[in-house]
Each structure stands twice: as C-alpha cells, then as structure tokens.
Structure 1
Amino acid sequence: MNRKSTHRRLLTAALCFTLPLGLVACGTTPEEEALYVGEAAAFLASSEEGGDIGADAVADADDTTVQAIAAEETDGVDVEPTDDGGLCDFRARRQAVMERYDDDGDGSLSNAELRELRADLGERRDTIRPRLAQLGRRARHWAFWRVRWAFDEDGSGTLSTEERTAMVDAMEARCERLRAERLERHDANGDGKLDEAERQAARDAVRARWEAKRQELLAEYDTNGNGRLDDGERVALRQDRVAAAQERRATLMATYDTNGDGRLSTEEALPLRKEIQRRIIEGRDAGN
C-alpha cells in the first residue's frame, strides 16, 4: 500500500470522529488504532527524555507557555534520570499503551477504548490526562507540546491525520537513531545488544552527565550551600530559564519573522517547524 493510499484511509477514518456518534457508525480501524497508539508512544518517548527536544518551538510560545516550560524544567532539576541503560524501544512503548487501554483484553481497541485514549491525549498540554502520563517513568508535558508544535504545519492548533502520521513516524525514527547511537557507545562486545554490564555502563554515563549538570546549577544557585535548591533558589533558576527562553525566542523571531510584524505566520513558521522536525528525526537534543 502506498503512502497516499494509507493517508487517504486514515483521513476517511478520522472523519468518523468528527460526526455525531461517529464512533458507533464507523467503528475502529487498524489504521486509526495504530496512529493514536503511536501518538501515545511518542508522548512517552518525548516525556522520558532528559534533553531539550523541540526547544525552538519557544519561538511561537506566549509568555504563559514560556513560564510553564521553565517551571517544568526547574521542577526536574533534582529528579534523577529514570534511564535504565537499555535501548530505545518504540514497539515496547506502543505495547505499554495497548495494555493500558485494551480494557477487555481482546488485543485491539474498541470504539470506547480508542475514544478514551484520544481523550487522554488531548491536543494541548493541559488536556493530557493522568492515565496516560502515569504510563511513563517521567511526564514532561511541555516537551510533547513542542513536538506537536513542530508537526502542526498548518498552524491550526491540532494535528491533521497526515501531520499526526508524520509525527509518529519521526518519533519512531528518532528512537531507532538513539538506539543505534547507544549501541555504538556501549556495545563493547559488538553483539548488537547490551548485556547487563553494558547497560550498567550506559546507565552510569547518563547519571554522570545529569550529576555534572546538577552540580553546575548548584554552584550557581545554591546560595546557602546546603546541597539542594530551596524554594527561593528555584525561583531564581526559573526566572533565569524564562529570560533565556525569551532571548532565544527573540533570536528566532529575528530569523523567521520576515515581515517584522512580531508574530510568525503559518508561512513564516513552516521553515522553523521543518528544522525542528529534522533535529527530532536525527536524534538531536536528547540529553542522554
């Protein structure tokens, strides 16, 4: 089946959700199920990473969003990495989603089960529900917001079937790229997998990078020297993160706001979205 045919089938299926009682009339197709399970897997992947995936989406973030992103980043400063040293496995994330939402255990999602998954995914950060967030070892909602922004090419605020498909494909490709990179660094015996000693080495490397960054932050913001960031110190860090995001936003606007009207039109934002997509697929900004 060619890509155009696949997208046409997905679009037809998606239209069922826009009609009154569409789920009852149209039913659940395998393509729909795969697409939304894949999106949930993408949420888990972006949330669990420790880096700045899609960071340049800040170009189109309002001040409230910038504040929220900075707060999420600050709250994660003292959270140790959950990375167990294993290899990125997008299929396992899909399976975890299926197991959570396949309430009747028949191996596929019914209309009601798929409707619940779609509702939990939402379209904005504040509509992602705890049931999905709790599947991951971390939940960085604003990281996923940035990924979604990059693939919302028409700037509608929601993902079309084609945009959602592209996002899922990109996140799966990212996982494969990160998997290969970890094997290259830590598969000492070259057998194409990580044994327990190699996984421990990968785990130790992630934690060492995290600890080094943490110590840098403590050196700058732990003014009372107690080895952690108190509330006031966190406020200072958050304010600096906001200032850095605003500065980055100004830099990006200077590049992409070609008519100088202070906002990104759909046409002006598209090259930036494409650039972020490229970095996502290439496994950039992973931080682990």
Structure 2
Amino acid sequence: MTTARRISGTTIAAHAVLMTYTVIALFPVFVILINSFKTRRAIFRDPLGLPNEETFSLIGYQTVFRQGDFVLYFQNSMIVTVVSLTLILLFGAMAAFALAEYRFKGNTLMGLYLALGIMIPIRIGTVAILEMMVSTGLVNTLVALILVYTAQGLPLAVFILSEFMRGVSDDLKNAGRMDGLSEYQIFWRLVLPLVRPAMATVAVFNMIPIWNDLWFPLILAPAEEVKTLTLGSQVFIGQFVTDWNAVLSALSMAILPVMVLYVIFSRQLIRGITSGAVK
C-alpha cells in the first residue's frame, strides 16, 4: 500500500512539473500567435495585448502566401521530418534491441561508440558532410537532409531505447521463443509494443530539432524547390528591414505540426519520462 502511494505521488508530482514547464514553454508561442494577427504598429506598441478591432490584421498571412511558396516549404519540411523520424525509430530500435538482448564481444564498446553522437555535435563535421554530399550529387536534395538528420538522431534513440528494452521481461521473450516465434517476430510483436512510451519520447525529442533546424537546410539544400519551412521564412528577414507581420505569421503556422504531435503523443511522452522514476 505504501509503495503504491509512493508511486502514485511520484506520478502526480511528475505530471505537475511537466504541466508547469508546458505552461512556461507555451507562453512564447502564445505571444507569437496573438502578434501574428496584429498590425505592425500594435506589435511594438503592445506586444502582450490581444488583438482588437483596431489592431487586428491578416496582412502577415497574406504576405506569406503571396511572396513565398509556403505550401511547398511546408511539404518539404513534412517529408524530411516524417521520413527522418521513421528511419531513426526503425534503425534505433533495431540497434537497441541487439545491444540489449545479445551479449557479444565488444557489446559495451559498440554501445559507447553509438552514444558518442550525443556528446559530439554533428555540426562540427559540416564541411566534411558538405564535401560528401557534393561528391555523391546529393546537394539540393531532400535525401541529403534526411540522411543527416537520421545520423543526428540515432545516438539518442539507441541510448534511450536500449535502456527501456533491457527492462522487458526475459521470461516473456523466452516464452515467445518456445512458442516458435522468430527473433524478428519477438522484436516486432513483443518488444516494440512494450516500449511505445520510449518511442514516442524519442520521436518528440527528435522532431523539434529537425523541424526547426536552419543550419543544414541552408548549407545542404538552399535551392528554392527544396527549401524547408524554417529556411523559407528567412525571406522575410532582411539586413535593414524585417517584415515582422510575415515572420510571426510564418512561425505561427510552423508551430502547428509540433503542437499536434505533442498532443497526440503527450500520454506516451509522460509515460516515457516518468517510467524511470516509479520503478
């Protein structure tokens, strides 16, 4: 009874802390949204005020759709993000299962090697990556961004998923083997459903850096037909003049997919974050 109360109290506390951080994190989003529906003068005069009859304006959204191919930018960002996340979760889960399930010579070293990507930022190798993409003819393609983001997200995915997979009952997996399940079936049918909270956590943590990244799209895919949403929004930011209405409108629309993903995976995300605290 005491243990159950302690677990329940820990879960409630984790939920409260997460909700507090969510409110704090959403406040800048709220400010961006309300200012995207205001005139330029109202943005600077009263940035925290809600739009009213005098200050309400859609000029920013009109400018976004008139001057830039926003639909194409949005489509490119969606393709890059969805494909990258799919590859990260697939290959990360497979590598994590191998490290957690099988004991072989060099297992620890392999785990440390895969975890090095967490400590060493991939941007350090920008020049080498660019040379590699040029030599393979992948510059100004979405494939280049997908490959880079997949490599960027795999270390964290392997690190998180391997810890969760080590917690899966060996008796359950051995029972599956006795029932004639192959290792692939054990992976797909037994292990993956049990680590869905960890998968959701990895997906959310990787989506935000991929969706909001400006560096690699600017270096590897600056062409108009493959611009991502973040890079395409920079057209409204000039050296001397910035169209703040358009910038805030573009950012407001760019935020929506992240918010939708968070709402969809919020329950699994909370389970993934709090599971280690209630063991």
TM-score (normalizing by structure 2): 0.25
Larger radius of gyration: 2
